[in-house]
Amino acid sequence: NAGVMQNPRHLVRRRGQEARLRCSPMKGHSHVYWYRQLPEEGLKFMVYLQKENIIDESGMPKERFSAEFPKEGPSILRIQQVVRGDSAAYFCASSPPSRADYNEQFFGPGTRLTVL
Amino acid sequence: DAKTTQPNSMESNEEEPVHLPCNHSTISGTDYIHWYRQLPSQGPEYVIHGLTSNVNNRMASLAIAEDRKSSTLILHRATLRDAAVYYCILSGSGGSNYKLTFGKGTLLTVNP
């Protein structure tokens, strides 16, 4: 059973460009979470999605950031008009419905975004 | 959110037990205690979780104080692959319990 997959692993963008980060959850997992880890800090929750629904986006910046988890295909975290402060590691995690109450989330390897 | 306090770093020797402490004096009655670890350049990995009773799994043991204001993650025989940052996290049993809040954690160094 393959783990959570994220791509790309490294992404370099210039200020003002768009960044699209992809996350494929583990097989059978319908819950996806995105976290951001700024340099020298712990991971911070951004958004929680289930198939075709955003459940909680309380950790998402109000502007430029959006997330989706379509019926088919991976979850996408999209950052428009990137700025240098967006440089961070972005982690995706997934969990199966039956274990969501226990919060055992399975994390991907992360995408390291660098904004020049 | 209830906060946790962990030492910044700890050091151990290979094949010796390691006890990683965590203080959570403001824990509420419904908060679970979770431990995750993060190896260099990787995503966090679930280690163990518990509510009131001590817990054991193939990776580690979790000892929870009777008043639940502290807990200890126990690695019975440290290996070089256990070198990582260990995070102690609290979450409620309902509502937004999926919202894990990672602090600075404890950086564990394992000496050969």
Q: DSSP string spanning A53-107?
A: EEEE-TTS-SSSEEEE--SSS-EEEEE-S--GGG-EEEEEEEE-GGGGGGT--EE
Residue among A4, A37, A100 minimizing CB distance to B98: A100
Contact A115, A82 (CB under 8 A): yes
Mean pLDDT lowest among A43-47, A67-71, A82-86, B101-105:
B101-105
Q: Does pLDDT of A31 surpass 70? A: yes
Q: Does pLDDT of A6 surpass 70? A: yes
Q: Chains A and B: how many Cβ contacts under 8 Å?
A: 63
| Contact (CB<8Å) A44/B102 | yes
Structure tokens at B76: 């019975």
Please name which of B94, B18, B85 lies closest in space to residue B51, comparing C-alpha atoms: B94
| Contact (CB<8Å) B98/A4 | no
Contacts for B107 with CB less than 8 Å, ≥ 6 apart:
B8, B9, B10, B84, B85
Structure tokens at A41: 């800090």
| Contact (CB<8Å) B44/A91 | yes
Burial status of residue B92 (CB atoms within 10 A of its CB: 0-12, 13-18, 19 or more)? middle
Q: Could you read off the pLDDT of A38-66 as tens digits, one per residue?
A: 988 889 999 999 988 999 999 999 999 99
For chain A, the first-to-last Cα distance in angstroms comes to 37
